[in-house]
Structures are given as C-alpha cells and as structure tokens.
C-alpha cells in the first residue's frame, strides 16, 4: 500500500501531519510511547523487534509540523515524549497501528496521542484516517479493537460504527476490556 498523508489544524492553529510513511517513525519514538503509563499494555522492545512490528503493520504516525512562531506549542507534562521547542522537522507526537492483511481484516491498536496535544481533535482525526484506510480494503470482513476506556468506546461507536462484541470483568477496579468490531457495511454507514 502506498503511503498516505492527511493534515489537521487544531483550534489553536497548530498543524499536524498524519502519515503512513514508514520512514518517519523511529523505534526510539515507539519505545518512548510504549514506556508511558498511557500504554499500560505495551512495553519497549529491541530496535529489531520494533522494526519487525512496524514492517508487519500499517502504522499511522502523528506529527507536529514546524511553525513560523514558537507561540503555538503547548507545554508538555513531564511524562510526555514531546518537547517545548517548536520542531524544525515533523516531530512525532502519536500513532495508531492497524494489524491487517490489507484485504479482509484490520485490528486497530496502540492508539496514542501525546498528552500535550489531546483535545485538539487529533483522536477523532486519526480514527477517521484509519477508517479511510480500512474502507479501501475490497474484501473487508471485520475491523476490530480492544479498549479499556469508556470515552474511547464512545468515540469508536460514533466514528466507526463499532459495536461491543464482549467485555471482560474489572478486577479490584483494574482491567476490564471491551472488544469492539464492525463489519464492512457498518463501517460504510458512518459519516466521519
């Protein structure tokens, strides 16, 4: 599949790139993200393992684009992979991965946006980009995902037409995953 790109401008005027280009994402960034508490299900891997993972999935990288002024960058929490300095080249701030055969099945996973850039519409936008990619799959049977967030569950229902397929019980107030999925016809019935 040829690399695709989309642009997004936040209400504050920051410009972002969402791209499937494999050359823009680095194993260091992926491991930094996998080490955050937001990605509790993931752990950092060796560089060769990260490269293998990226080579065998369709990954959407989310990047802050350079700006002409420094007044549009947001402060970053201390556990955030971003920096306060405006980038001189696209700065990775998030990702979403589709594990797919590119024909019949897509599993959306590892959706992450740097906390400093949440609330800018990027979550909705990267989900719409994922939907666009999956809709191009001629033999699509299912798009599926797991989520542990009620907020994300609502987003996936609204933006992808996902239905709950199953839930695991929370234990001691922790855990609890929702399995969601949508067939091709359900995906096409949703306007992004």
Model pLDDT for residues 72-90, shown as the tens digit of each residue: 444 444 444 554 455 578 9
Average per-residue pLDDT for the chain = 88
Q: How many CB atoms lie within 10 A of CB 188?
A: 13
Q: In the chain, where are the structural domains located?
A: 5-188
C-alpha distances (whole Å) from 68 to each of 23, 52, 76, 86, 88 are 25, 36, 20, 9, 10
Quote the DSSP letter at residue 184: H
The domain 5-188: what is its CATH number?
A: 3.40.630.30
With contact defined as beta carbons under 8 Å apart, do 64 and 82 qualify?
A: yes
Asked whether residue 127 carries a pLDDT value surpassing 90, the answer given is yes
Distance of alpha carbon 138 from alpha carbon 129, whole angstroms: 17
Torsion region of 77: left, alpha or beta (phi above 0 gives left; psi -120 to 50 gives alpha)? beta
Four-residue CA torsion sign, 148, 27, 21, 58: negative
Q: What percent of the chain has pLDDT over 70?
A: 86
Please report which helix (H) or strand (E) contains residue 168, including its range. Answer: none
Distances (CA, A) of 161 to 99, 123, 138, 142, 176: 19, 16, 18, 12, 21
Mean pLDDT on 8-15: 94
Count the Cβ atoms, other than its own, within 10 Å of residue 5.
14
């Amino acid at each position: 599949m040829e690399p695709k790109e989309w642009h997004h401008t936040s209400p504050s005027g920051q410009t972002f790139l969402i791209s499937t280009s494999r050359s823009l994402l680095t194993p260091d960034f992926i491991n930094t993200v996998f080490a955050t508490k937001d990605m509790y299900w993931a752990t950092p891997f060796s560089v060769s393992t990260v490269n293998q993972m990226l080579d065998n999935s369709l990954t959407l990288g989310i990047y802050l684009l350079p700006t002409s002024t420094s007044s549009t960058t947001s402060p970053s929490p201390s556990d955030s992979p971003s920096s306060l300095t405006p980038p001189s080249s696209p700065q990775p701030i998030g990702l979403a991965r589709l594990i797919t055969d590119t024909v019949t099945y897509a599993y959306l996973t590892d959706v992450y946006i740097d906390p400093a850039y949440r609330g800018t519409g990027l979550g909705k936008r990267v989900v719409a980009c994922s939907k666009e990619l999956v809709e191009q799959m001629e033999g699509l049977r299912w798009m599926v995902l797991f989520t542990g967030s009620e907020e994300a569950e609502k987003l996936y229902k609204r933006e992808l037409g996902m239905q709950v397929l199953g839930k695991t019980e929370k234990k001691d107030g922790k855990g609890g995953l929702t399995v969601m999925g949508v067939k091709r016809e359900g995906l096409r019935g949703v306007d992004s």
